Amino acid sequence: MTVIIFSTNEIKIDEVSNSSLLFQVYEIFCILVLVGSFGIRIGESKNVQVLKPNSKLEYSALNCRKHSGFLTDYGGVGDGKTLNTKAFQSAIANLSQYASDGGAELIVTSGRWLTGSFNLTSHFTLFIHRSAVILASQNESDWPLLAPLPSYGVDQNLTEGRFSSLLFGMNLTDVVITGNNGTIDGQGAPWWDKFKKGQFKATRPFLIELMYTDQLQISNITLANSPFWHVHPVYSSNVVIQMVTILAPVEVPNTDGINPDSCTNVLIEDVYIVSGDDCIAIKSGWDQYGIKVGLPTEHLVIRRLTCKSPDSAAIALGSEMSGGIQDVRAEDITAFDTQSAVRIKTAPGRGGYIKDIFVKGMTLKNMQYVFWVSGAYKTHPDDGYDPKALAEFKNINYRDVFAENVTIAGSLEGYANHPFTGFCMSNVSMTLNEEAKESSPWTCTDIKGVSKNVIPKPCDLLTGKETDCSFPEDKLSIETIEMKSCISKKKFF
């Protein structure tokens, strides 16, 4: 890994006025050094690149660009007060003309860039400097309304559709959102407050949403305080999300970190997420709408995730999974002060399937649940679902799990008279806390599976197994992609 330090003669630390944010940043640094999630090692000075004034920017990307521009070239003002929506729109419209001529990059330099929603384009890179903050406008009129997603339908409580995300795009190819740890701040507090009061008729906006997009990279940036989910690739393929930090208050609902939705060939690695909801939630549509669209999420790799979410999961499958979820591979997962490790949620009416799920190597501390599966997650967009549409479960594997200070080892509840089957657990060690001693560490109803070397002893519905649970040895195509070394066409300072 290359750490880029921008300085004339010395390394400097930016001032942070918000003490809680400073503490979070410090906490992240400490954890990453301890667990090595980002591969950072103290003393590897040979990997540090110091950029002098008038030097050119270097970064890794799926593809490099022939043309380049600064946001300031298009009237951008980084004072934190001037609205830059038109500057972003103008810049991207102008740079889009180079899509067939080597593509273009837009560089957001140091400053605080207030903006409403804007659309990205194909063969395009948005680069955010480490001292740049893209600030989301808190004025709802700066966020256009969009039609509901086809696989979700119209929520009966949100009949006006949904707000566009801050960074949006559809039917695109080859999109890169990257930086040297620049920030996109959703400034979500007014949205959270209004949501808690039940005052919305439209779904809150995401921070980043790309629809029907092939070749998407999101890397080396910090995302914070989204009004709703932070990253939502949907109906997309060949998605790479790397070296991303996501921060949201843990008491705010629905601030999910990364939610791949009806996507194929996805790699999520080296990410740190603090959230009020699931750190990563894998989805594929909601009830009859998701069944009709029929686009699964499949061939997904998650590795080296560090998560904190006191009210939700490190990784969730569902609850909206009506198009199906298949071939998910998660390994080297660290979670602390988190409600559950891997949670599966569905309900009668969802249909679809969850199969070929492989989880290996989880280190967990201070957990409410380790294993949590529920077939009674009752939310529905409307009353048009078929209660007889039940999800199929097959080949769900967990292995090499170490957890301490656990309240509930497992709560596994399938459909009544329609058991969830195909579970496998091996080499699992869980240390229970004082609260756990007052009740049984396992609750299992309407499930079937096998287990080996699981402590505390699992329920009788998970019978003995002679070999370890499986984990694929082959690599998916998304894991073999090689990033290119790119040099900006413009001098950076």
Q: Which residues are catalytic?
A: 277
- Give Cβ neighbours of residue 187 (< 8 Å, ≥ 6 apart): 135, 136, 137, 138, 225
Asked if 59 contacts 180 with a C-beta cutoff of 8 angstroms, the reply is yes
Q: Burial-class residue 159 by CB neighbours within 10 Å (0-12, 13-18, 19+).
A: exposed
Distance from first CA to last CA of the chain, Å, rounded?
23
Count CB neighbours of 27 within 10 A.
13
Token couple for 83? 């609205």
**CA–CA distance, 449 with 460 (Å, rounded to integer):** 9
Q: Report the b/e string of 44-53 with b at 16+ CB within 10 A.
A: eeeeeeebee
**CA–CA distance, 353 with 318 (Å, rounded to integer):** 10
Token couple for 193? 């407050």
Q: Residue 268: which of 302, 237, 297 has the closest Cα?
A: 302
Q: Residue 168: which of 133, 203, 211 has the closest Cα?
A: 211
DSSP string, 278-339: -SEEEB-B-HHHHHHH---EEEEEEEEEEEE-TTSEEEEE-SSBTT-EEEEEEEEEEEEEES
**CA–CA distance, 372 with 414 (Å, rounded to integer):** 11
User: Positive or negative, the Cα torsion across 264, 279, 253, 232?
Assistant: negative
Count CB neighbours of 40 within 10 A.
14
Asked if 426 contacts 469 with a C-beta cutoff of 8 angstroms, the reply is yes
Radius of gyration over alpha carbons of the chain, in Å?
23
Phi–psi pair at 386, nearest 5 degrees? -100, 110
Asked if 380 contacts 287 with a C-beta cutoff of 8 angstroms, the reply is yes
**CA–CA distance, 493 with 491 (Å, rounded to integer):** 6
SS3 178: strand
